[in-house]
Amino acid sequence: MDLVDQFFYAAFTVDSVVFGFDEGDLKILLIKRGEEPFTGKWALPGYFVKKTETLDNAAERVLEELTGLKNVYLEQVRSFGKVDRHPAGRVITCGYFALIKISDYKIQPGSTGLAKRAEWHSYKEIGELAFDHNEVIAYAFRMLKRRVRTQPIGFELLPPKFTLTQLQHLYEAILLSDESPENNKLDKRNFRKKILSMNLLVDLNEYQEGVAHRPAKLYRFDKEKYRELENAGFSYEL
């Protein structure tokens, strides 16, 4: 048996876990599959890697073809290679991870027919997905949960101007998503004291408009200030 017969027997796919945040709810972008296997089943946007492209290039191409998203920063999470994870045969997938502001992008499946629809789904209500995509999401979510405590990546999910309440709801959606309803809230006073003490938020001296409740003050995240503090040894920890 030569090397080709012995080792060159697997195909590769890429699957992207794209997180968004809307109305206090952490969401994940899913597609409704347009081909077998699992036609009509919800799944992560993913497909096979071509012989002539890198994994990163494939992830960018596939995400755009299936959802219309482009110019999105994608980071590799890890590979998933259970022998029986794909009904067609030996298929290894590389999972990717992205955080985007939902309002900045228009979701539109391409003309390939591989995705009947592309929609945002609440992380808490995604149900059973095709292949092992629930496992891929679970791993990516654990990665998000770890990082959001030690890096200010959560701000990637918020609009440029946000309230402290919106920021708190974001952290609750990520850090306390698995808690019971009575324990899925952060202490408002302690959270605000901690986040403001970092001096990473700019008070815009502006307030919400067009809201039914009392307008709240708006802030923005100071990326330059964070870089300066990080270079000086600052540790972001929430």
The burial of 212, by beta-carbon neighbours within 10 Å (0-12 exposed, 13-18 middle, 19 or more buried), is given as exposed
Instruction: Render pLDDT for 156-169 as a digit per residue (tens, 0 to 9).
Output: 999 999 999 999 99
Work out the pLDDT band at 173, boundaries 50, 70, 90.
Answer: very high
Closest to 59 (Cα-Cα) out of 11, 114, 106, 16 = 16
Q: What is the pLDDT of residue 211?
A: 82
Per the prediction, the chain carries an average pLDDT of 94
The C-alpha atoms of residue 76 and residue 45 are separated, in whole angstroms, by: 14
pLDDT at 16 over 90: yes
CATH of domain 151-231: 1.10.10.10
Residues of the chain with CATH 1.10.10.10: 151-231
Task: State percent of the chain over pLDDT 70.
Answer: 97
CATH of domain 3-147: 3.90.79.10
Instruction: Render pLDDT for 44-90 as a digit per residue (tens, 0 to 9).
Output: 999 999 999 999 999 999 999 999 999 999 999 999 999 999 999 99
Q: What is the pLDDT of residue 182?
A: 62
Residues of the chain with CATH 3.90.79.10: 3-147
Highest mean pLDDT: which range of 23-27, 59-63, 101-105, 110-114:
59-63
Tell me the average pLDDT across 113-126. 96
